Amino acid sequence: MFVDKATITVKAGKGGDGCVSFHREKYVAAGGPDGGDGGRGGDIILRTDNNMSTLMDFRYKRKYQAGDGANGASKRFFGKDGQDLIIKVPVGTVVRDPETGTIIKDMSDGEPFVLAKGGRGGWGNKHFATPTRQVPRFAKPGLPGESRQVILELKLLADVGLVGFPNVGKSTLLAAASNARPKIANYHFTTLFPNLGVVYAQEGASFVMADIPGIIEGASEGAGLGHDFLRHIDRCRLLVHMVDVSGCEGRDPVEDFKAINAELAGYSRELSTRPQIVVGNKGDIAYDREAPDALKALAEDMGYEYMEISAATGDNVRALIMKIYEKLTKLPPITVYEADYVAPLPTGGKAEDVRIEVDDDTYILSGGWLEHLVASTNFGDHESLMHFDKQLRESGIFKRLEEMGIKDGDTVSIYNLEFEYLH
């Protein structure tokens, strides 16, 4: 079964908790805190696999979770990091946000992508020892890993897309031009999923051709399998529009040509402007030359090149291959979609629910809202750090600290982070 769309839920691992421990050894007095840090939670990583051609693996398994980090231990032992979970997807898979439909990542560049980051491990109490706080009896819990639902959508990576009504000879052409062996029969909808084939034009020169299952009228509005077929043409640099000019089924080639172009335009304005080569197939058994000549005149009038072939006998197929290759050398590379997803503001409780505890000159902050804010902040980036500061101010947390008597130079502890307070 060909599956080209799936919705999955992923959850990265939670960071391990820091340890509260004090060094105990004979003849060593006041050994001090030695609690180790928790391990980092495992990430959810997407990686492309050239041996996969569908999203069938996601039909039955829809929930994925990475390993949690281990807790810290005494003697400054760090907890073990949680195991990353690698999810393999076909090349050309587009990852979308289900709520907005925006693109998170296009898995076409072969590079792995971290879909959900594991939580940071909590600090052990050894980090909180100061000259004035020599016996810290607290450590930090690990942060939760990111959790999200995403839509995986496969869009084939093909240079050329064969489009046209069912039973016009697309599969026959693919078999004649490449090493692909699609199922071929003389009835409509033989092809139920796209087939790919590598076509060799000449030594050292090849391109990928996709046989897109027959499009019917109303496909752009969801009729038949609708978008399930049309989405696979999105990346194609060139369309080979095949039309049956034989008249053996009583169809009008001109009307068929207009109908398919209308469906392409209905699905995507950009797709309707994609370069085309119009191919009149089964010309060797055409009993009336009027229809093929009318199609040729219309195609050329619209600025498209027209060729007539017989995919079944191989007549003129080689010339078509060379014409396709010539056109491809002048076209830009296959489209890779830019990510346009914008992460929402932190959620998870309210800022008013943040707990503030005081230990000497240290103010310890914790709470769900704060966990999410820390997890979504890149502290190595100045703009992200300024956004973090702004969120704390606008939420009223700084005002609460001032009401509790915090002074310049006091320490603000937020999970595994410490800041010196400056008014």
Least confident piece of the model among 43-52, 214-223, 298-307: 214-223
For 363, counting Cβ atoms within 10 Å of its Cβ (0-12 exposed, 13-18 middle, 19+ buried), the class is: buried
Q: State the greatest distance between any 2 C-alpha atoms of the chain, in Å, as a whole number.
A: 107
The three-state secondary structure class of 417 is strand
- Any idea what the Cα angle at residue 167 is, between residues 163 and 168, rounded to 5°? 55
| Mean pLDDT of the 396-414 span | 88
Nearest to 18 by CA among 146, 147, 120, 129: 120
Distance of CA 85 to the CA centre of its chain: 16
Is the confidence at residue 185, as pLDDT, over 50?
Answer: no
Return the higher-pLDDT residue of 263 and 83. 83
Enumerate the domain spans of the chain.
Answer: 1-155, 160-328, 347-423
- Annotate 130-153 with DSSP letters as a single string: -SS--S-----PPPPPPEEEEEEE
CA 303 – CA 320 distance, rounded (Å): 17
Contact 244, 233 (CB under 8 A): no
At 199, phi and psi to the nearest 5?
-105, 125
Which class would CATH give 160-328? alpha beta
What pLDDT sits at residue 192?
Answer: 55
Q: In which band, very low, low, confident or very high, does the pLDDT at 223 lie, cut at 50, 70 and 90?
A: very low
Helix 290-301 with 253-267: angle, nearest 10 deg = 30
Instruction: Enter the CATH code of domain 347-423.
Output: 3.30.300.350
Which class would CATH give 1-155? mainly beta
Q: What is the pLDDT of residues 239-291, one digit of tens each?
A: 999 999 987 777 889 999 998 888 888 877 888 889 999 999 988 887 778 88
Is the confidence at residue 161, as pLDDT, over 70?
Answer: yes
